[in-house]
């Protein structure tokens, strides 16, 4: 009887479930967007590696940089450090014959240890060698995106000569694809010896040092030892440097993503409540219209709980059907956003189940009052109703 009543008023049923449909679709879609963003951030943070510290000289103290010897010996006498790599970075115009990159390319001056510390290896050719640093060699390794822009896809750049800021460099290596980390592409860069980079970029100091720690248990101890050394170098001015922990970055990013997802879900849940109010409104109208029907049923022996159950089933059916359609709409929306909008999404089964359960609960909560009103009608009063 509940289904017959629902199907008898198709337009009313569709309009009443529309609020639930939109609410469920919005909750799932927003949570999927939040999860997709979290997955992207986590995948980018994975590129930073685990058990890694980053020492950044901020330049706000009496000394604005570390010297190269200071940076290279920063880890000496500190147990638990597996590798250490100072880096000098800047940008340069890049040209090969008549081809020039559309914009300036990131240039990093590194030591041979960079390969192991950053886990960034050449897929072809060789990496920077100690001799390159001593001889201030003008050699370079290209990221895959930069190589393709200059030479074309599938063409080996090894042995070719390129111009960095108008100066000739020999390409000795092609780096493996690495993707992006924290929004910065690792495939659109050029690596050269750190000594050569200091000359080219006119920067004698080092502002960034990456440190690999042997285990997560040693992170705090290594951080404390590095801070003590840096404090001596910068004469106690703690504003001159900052040590960043990769694990802390991951935890912060996860916390922010979780908070944003919860906030978005809370906002979207409001539309579910609005949809529930719509169902209650429609059910109250239905009770008023079907007063005589209710009177006839009760006169023929229907108990109060029978009428209550009938109207409650109608409310729950409308909200549940709206929930199912909302789930389908959410999957469709996420597919469109991922395939055509370039927005990462990640639908979790748990969220879908909770959203559907909540939509059914809304039907129960907002259906109780109209159902109780119908069940409480006296047969005589109901039969007299015009």
pLDDT tens for the chain, residues 1 to 386: 667 766 777 777 777 778 778 888 888 888 888 777 777 766 665 555 567 888 888 765 446 788 888 888 888 888 888 889 999 989 899 999 888 888 889 999 999 999 988 888 999 999 999 999 999 999 999 999 999 999 998 899 999 999 999 899 999 999 999 877 656 778 899 999 999 999 998 877 888 898 888 887 888 888 888 888 888 888 777 778 888 876 666 667 667 767 776 777 677 677 777 777 777 777 777 666 666 666 677 676 777 777 777 777 777 887 888 888 989 998 998 888 888 877 778 888 888 888 888 878 877 777 777 667 666 766 665 555 55
Q: Kindly state the tokens that stand for 71.
A: 């940076």
Half-sphere exposure of 148 (CA within 13 A, CB side): 10
Q: Kindly state the tokens that stand for 113.
A: 């240890």
How far is residue 27's CA from residue 32's CA, in Å, rounded to a whole number? 8
Rg (the chain; Cα; Å): 33
Please give the helix or strand (H or E) that residue 99 lies within, else none: strand 99-100
Please give the helix or strand (H or E) that residue 1 lies within, else none: none
Compute CA distances 325 → 20, 28, 65, 164, 283, whole Å: 9, 12, 60, 58, 20
Q: Degrees (nearest 5) of the Cα angle 233, 238, 242?
A: 95
pLDDT at 37: 73
Q: Compute φ and ψ for 59, nearest 5 degrees.
A: 75, 25
How far is residue 205's CA from residue 104's CA, in Å, rounded to a whole number? 22
At a CB cut-off of 8 Å and minimum separation 6, what does 296 contact? 382, 383
pLDDT at 61: 45
Q: Are 197 and 108 in contact (CB under 8 A)?
A: yes
Q: Kindly state the tokens that stand for 176.
A: 């493996």
How far is residue 159's CA from residue 139's CA, in Å, rounded to a whole number? 10
15 CB neighbour count, 10 Å cutoff: 12
Q: Are 30 and 264 in contact (CB under 8 A)?
A: yes
pLDDT at 63: 61
pLDDT at 123: 93
The SS3 of residue 90 is strand
How far is residue 293's CA from residue 291's CA, in Å, rounded to a whole number? 5
pTM score of the predicted model: 0.61
């Amino acid at each position: 009887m509940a289904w017959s009543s629902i199907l008898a008023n198709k337009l009313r049923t569709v309009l009443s479930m529309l609020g639930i449909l939109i609410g469920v679709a919005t909750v799932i879609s927003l949570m999927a967007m939040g999860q997709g963003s979290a997955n992207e951030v986590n995948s980018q943070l994975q590129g930073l590696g685990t058990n890694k510290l980053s020492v950044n000289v901020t330049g706000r103290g009496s000394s604005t940089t570390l010297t190269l010897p200071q940076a290279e010996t920063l880890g000496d006498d500190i147990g638990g450090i597996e590798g250490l790599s100072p880096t000098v970075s800047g940008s340069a115009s890049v040209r090969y014959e008549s081809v020039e990159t559309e914009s300036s390319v990131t240039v990093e001056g590194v030591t041979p240890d960079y390969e192991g510390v950053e886990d960034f290896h050449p897929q072809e050719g060789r990496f920077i060698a100690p001799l390159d640093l001593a001889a201030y060699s003008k050699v370079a390794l290209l990221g895959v995106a930069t190589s393709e822009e200059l030479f074309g896809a599938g063409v080996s750049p090894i042995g070719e000569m390129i111009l960095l800021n108008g100066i000739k460099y020999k390409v000795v290596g092609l780096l493996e694809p690495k993707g992006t980390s924290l929004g910065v592409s690792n495939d659109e860069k050029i690596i050269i010896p750190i000594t050569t980079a200091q000359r080219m970029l006119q920067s004698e100091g080092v502002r960034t040092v990456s440190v690999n720690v042997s285990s997560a248990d040693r992170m705090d101890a290594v951080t404390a030892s590095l801070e003590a050394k840096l404090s001596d170098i910068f004469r106690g001015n703690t504003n001159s440097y900052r040590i960043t922990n990769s694990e802390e970055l991951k935890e912060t990013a996860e916390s922010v993503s979780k908070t944003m997802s919860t906030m978005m879900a809370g906002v979207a849940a409001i539309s579910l409540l609005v949809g529930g109010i719509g169902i209650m409104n429609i059910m109250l109208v239905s009770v008023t219209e079907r007063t005589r029907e209710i009177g006839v049923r009760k006169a023929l022996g229907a108990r109060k709980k029978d009428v209550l159950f009938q109207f409650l089933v109608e409310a729950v059916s409308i909200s549940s059907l709206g929930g199912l359609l909302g789930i389908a709409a959410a999957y469709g929306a996420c597919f469109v956003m991922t395939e055509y909008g370039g927005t990462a999404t990640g639908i979790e089964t748990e969220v879908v189940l909770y959203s559907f359960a909540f939509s059914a609960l809304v039907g129960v909560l907002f259906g109780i009052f109209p159902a109780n009103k119908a069940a409480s009608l006296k047969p005589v009063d109901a039969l007299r109703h015009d």
